[in-house]
Amino acid sequence: MPDVVVMGLGHVGLPLVQEATSAGLATVGYDVSEEVVAGVNAGRSHVGGVSDADVTAMVAGGFRATGDPRVLDGARTVLICVPTGLTASGTPDLAQVEAATTAAARGLSPGTLVVLESTSYPGTTDGFVRPLLERISGLRAGHDFHLAFSPQRIDPGNREWGVRNTPKIVSGYTAKCAKRAIAFYSRFVENPVLSRGTREAEMAKLLENTYRYVNIALVDEVALFCAESGIDVWDVLHCAGTKPFGFASFRPGAGVGGHCIPVDPRYLAAQAEAQGFSFRMLAAAQDVLTRMPGHVVGRTLELLDEIDVKPAGSRVLLLGVSYKPDVADVRETPAVAVASGLLSAGAEVSYHDPYVEHFALGAQPVPRAGELDEALREADVAILLQEHTEYDAASLNRAPCAVLDTRGLVAGRGVTLL
Ligand SMILES: NC(=O)c1ccc[n+]([C@@H]2O[C@H](COP(=O)([O-])OP(=O)(O)OC[C@H]3O[C@@H](n4cnc5c(N)ncnc54)[C@H](O)[C@@H]3O)[C@@H](O)[C@H]2O)c1
């Protein structure tokens, strides 16, 4: 009988498995994707920050992945780490949480601890997960089984902060549930932080990501204003960033990406809307952020005009298409909107990214450039979208083409900043 079943072996689930396994917990992973199950069992990682060698060590330590829900029967602890995305109309999509909870409920036994780790709006654990678990299993939360919510703070690719040393918010449906959840996480998390209840923990997670969302939108809008006013936004940010207190630095760019920052505030907005609460900050931030790719396209067209190249047939090279530096993840990357705007203007778009092997707009692949220097020689304009370590200021300054720098990395001749 496993100590822990981790449901969903993605960016959140796999690092959790790694820590639980190394703490000596008998851990099984349950995932509905056959590809993920087969890959992990064969020692292959599909998650940044977890290497193939890490997965091989996990498997050697007794971990295995399966797509068979019977593994949930009688598990002592079940961690739900499945995606919480958006529907086509931009509203919270809890279909995968529902499917995972249903599977967990079918195998639920007295004494089991079920923890939701997926990000969601306040009230999900108590109002969505609990009724499903209780109805299907016939057991009662807080009496027969324990129910908790503990949001994940994993930052894929971050070498300093991982599952073990990042403080982890833990909450329970009842005080006893919380106690049991704290005891569980204390086995492999150095600093569990008890919250008053599940709604506070759910809201804390949304606050953390909304804080980034709103502040990025703020500096983006400052950048738009500075562009119109002839003010160097990067110098503004450098100067303001020297304040040792009361100011946290955020940097403008082509927009926000990934499965958290653009998505989580939508969960908060939807919940607020359902309650008739007008969350004005969120709407304003969304408005600014959705304008940023268009701004980058507009600046590129201006740059082409300056160098006397017509947009139709111009060669535009995107540098870095992932949503953040030094990762391969292109989920929700603003590079898609930038590429699509440029294609609509008639440009021939290609990309260079040391991490991303395939980049496409729907079914239409964007050609990948090979060697960086050669790609820069062949382009009319290169747009630095992501400051991967490979892109150093000196070589971009030497680029024979015009460069539009959206990250404030390069400053020199032939380079236009955002
Ligand atoms: N990626 C991050 O950096 C991050 C950070 C903090 C929180 N989160 C949150 O954690 C949750 C999981 O995100 P992720 O990035 O790990 O997702 P992911 O897409 O990387 O992985 C999710 C995995 O769950 C599997 N899955 C889907 N439905 C399932 C089901 N019914 N049963 C079992 N497995 C199922 C998928 O096949 C996939 O392998 C989301 O709520 C996300 O918002 C993510």
pLDDT value of position 413: 67
pLDDT value of position 108: 97
Measured distance CA(122)–CA(126) in Å, rounded = 9
Q: How many CB atoms lie within 10 A of CB 228?
A: 8
- Centre of ligand 1 to C-alpha 210, Å, is 19
150 burial via Cβ count (<10 Å: 0-12, 13-18, 19+) = buried
pLDDT digits over 45-70, tens only? 999 889 999 999 999 999 999 999 99
pLDDT digits over 352-405, tens only? 999 999 999 999 999 999 999 999 999 999 999 999 999 998 889 889 999 999
What is the atom index within ligand 1 of the atom nearest the CA of 14? 16
How large is the average pLDDT for residues 109-121? 98
Identify the band that residue 343 occupies on the pLDDT scale cut at 50, 70 and 90: very high
Nearest alpha carbon, ligand 1 atom 25 = 8
- CA-to-CA separations, 384 to 57, 351, 378, 381, 388, in angstroms, rounded: 37, 10, 15, 10, 9
Domains, the chain, ordered by start: 4-196 (3.40.50.720), 229-417 (3.40.50.720)
Let me know if 81 is a catalytic residue: no
Nearest alpha carbon, ligand 1 atom 11 = 118
Q: Report the DSSP pairing between strands 27-30 and 4-7.
A: parallel
pLDDT above 90 for 272: yes
Q: What is the mean pLDDT of the chain?
A: 95
- Centre of ligand 1 to C-alpha 32, Å, is 11
State whether the beta carbon of 11 lies less than 6 angstroms from ligand 1: yes
pLDDT digits over 213-222, tens only? 999 999 999 9
How large is the average pLDDT for residues 234-257? 95
State whether the beta carbon of 86 lies less than 6 angstroms from ligand 1: no
State whether the beta carbon of 209 lies less than 6 angstroms from ligand 1: no
DSSP string, 167-230: -EEEEESSHHHHHHHHHHHTTT-S-EEE-SSHHHHHHHHHHHHHHHHHHHHHHHHHHHHHHHHT
Give the pair of three-digit tokens for residue 339. Answer: 């590429």
State whether the beta carbon of 116 lies less than 6 angstroms from ligand 1: no
- Centre of ligand 1 to C-alpha 82, Å, is 4
State whether the beta carbon of 28 lies less than 6 angstroms from ligand 1: no
- CA-to-CA separations, 412 to 37, 160, 222, 396, 406, in angstroms, rounded: 49, 32, 22, 9, 14
